Amino acid sequence: MLSNGLYSQSFHSDESTDLRSYLQAEEQKWPDVSASSAEEAARRYLEVMLSPVRPEAAFMPEPEMETAAKPQFKAVGVEKSPLTDTQFVKFRQYHHNIPVYGSLVTVELGSQNRLMAMNSALGSPLNVDPIARISPAQAVEVVEEDAGSGACRTSAAPSIQYFYDSGVDRWRLAYIFEDVKSLREAPKTELRGVPQIFDYAIDAHNGKIIARLPRVQNGAAAVTRIDERPAPAEGPVLETALDDLDREREFVCLQHEGQKLLIDPELNVHTYDFGFHDADTESGSLPGVYVTSPPDPWLKCAVSAHANACIVAAFYRDVLKRNGVDNRGHRFTSSVQCLYGPEGRQTREWRNAVWDGEQMIYGQRLVEGTLRGYGASLDVVAHEITHGVTENTCRLEYRFESGAMNESYSDIFGIIISNYKEPDIEKWNWQLGEELDPSGVPIRDVSEPTTYGQPDHMNDYRRFPSGYDAGGVHVNSGIHNKAFYNLITSKDVEGRYLFDAESVAKLFYLALTQRLASTSTFSDSYRGVLLSAQTYFRNDPARDAKIAAVRTAFEAVGIRLTTAAPVTVAMMRLAA
pLDDT at 223: 35
Q: What is the CATH number of domain 236-389?
A: 3.10.170.10
Tell me the three state secondary structure of residue 88. Answer: strand
Cβ atoms of 288 and 244 closer than 8 Å: no
pLDDT at 63 over 50: no
Name the packing angle between helices 400-419 and 300-318 (round to 10°).
100
pLDDT at 1: 47
Q: Higher model confidence: residue 53 or residue 346?
A: 346
Q: Summarize the confidence of residues 280-284 as an average pLDDT.
A: 86
Per-residue pLDDT reduced to its tens digit, 17-38:
777 888 888 888 888 888 899 9
Most confidently modeled range among 17-26, 50-59, 135-144, 184-193: 135-144
The region of weakest confidence among 98-112, 380-394, 554-568 is 554-568
Per-residue pLDDT reduced to its tens digit, 424-442:
999 999 999 888 877 777 8
DSSP 563: -
Most confidently modeled range among 148-152, 225-229, 294-298: 294-298
Which sequence spans correspond to the domains of the chain? 7-128, 136-214, 236-389, 400-555
Mean pLDDT of the chain: 88
Cβ atoms of 251 and 314 closer than 8 Å: no
Instruction: Return the beta strands (E) in 382-492 as ranges.
Output: 431-432, 444-445
pLDDT at 241 over 50: yes
Residues 6+ apart with CB under 8 A from 189: 465, 467, 468
Q: What is the CATH number of domain 400-555?
A: 1.10.390.10
Q: Summarize the confidence of residues 432-459 as an average pLDDT.
A: 90
Catalytic site residues? 384, 474
Q: Higher model confidence: residue 115 or residue 227?
A: 115
How large a percentage of the chain has pLDDT more than 90?
67
Cβ atoms of 361 and 354 closer than 8 Å: yes
Query: Is the torsion defined by CA of 109, 535, 392, 144 positive or negative?
Result: positive
Cα–Cα distance between 499 and 552 in angstroms, integer? Answer: 14
Q: How confident is the model at residue 232 (pLDDT cuts 50, 70, 90)?
A: low
Q: How confident is the model at residue 61 (pLDDT cuts 50, 70, 90)?
A: very low
pLDDT at 376: 95
pLDDT at 233: 62
Residue 400 Rama label (left phi>0; alpha psi -120 to 50; beta) = left
Q: How confident is the model at residue 280 (pLDDT cuts 50, 70, 90)?
A: confident
pLDDT at 574: 38
pLDDT at 359 over 80: yes
Interstrand relation of 98-99 and 104-109 (parallel, antiparallel or unpaired): unpaired
pLDDT at 59: 56
Q: How confident is the model at residue 140 (pLDDT cuts 50, 70, 90)?
A: very high
Find the helix or strand (DSSP H, E) in which 74 lies: strand 72-81
pLDDT at 224 over 50: no
Longest dimension (CA), the chain: 75
The region of weakest confidence among 179-193, 278-292, 362-376 is 179-193
Q: How confident is the model at residue 314 (pLDDT cuts 50, 70, 90)?
A: very high
How large a percentage of the chain has pLDDT more than 70?
88
pLDDT at 479: 98
Count how many residues are written for the chain: 576
pLDDT at 335: 97
Cα–Cα distance between 520 and 514 in angstroms, integer? Answer: 12
Question: Comparing C-alpha atoms, which of 322, 309, 330 is closest to residue 383?
Answer: 309
pLDDT at 228: 55
Residue 513 Rama label (left phi>0; alpha psi -120 to 50; beta) = alpha
Is-cis flag, bond preceding 465, omega within 30? no
Q: How confident is the model at residue 384 (pLDDT cuts 50, 70, 90)?
A: very high
Cβ atoms of 528 and 516 closer than 8 Å: yes
Tell me the whole-structure pTM to 2 decimals.
0.91
Most confidently modeled range among 21-35, 115-129, 142-156, 526-540: 526-540
pLDDT at 67 over 80: no
pLDDT at 221 over 50: no
Q: How confident is the model at residue 277 (pLDDT cuts 50, 70, 90)?
A: very high
Q: How confident is the model at residue 83 (pLDDT cuts 50, 70, 90)?
A: very high
pLDDT at 467: 79
Q: How confident is the model at residue 198 (pLDDT cuts 50, 70, 90)?
A: confident
Q: Higher model confidence: residue 437 or residue 367?
A: 367
pLDDT at 454 over 80: yes
Q: How confident is the model at residue 56 (pLDDT cuts 50, 70, 90)?
A: low
Cβ atoms of 4 and 521 closer than 8 Å: yes
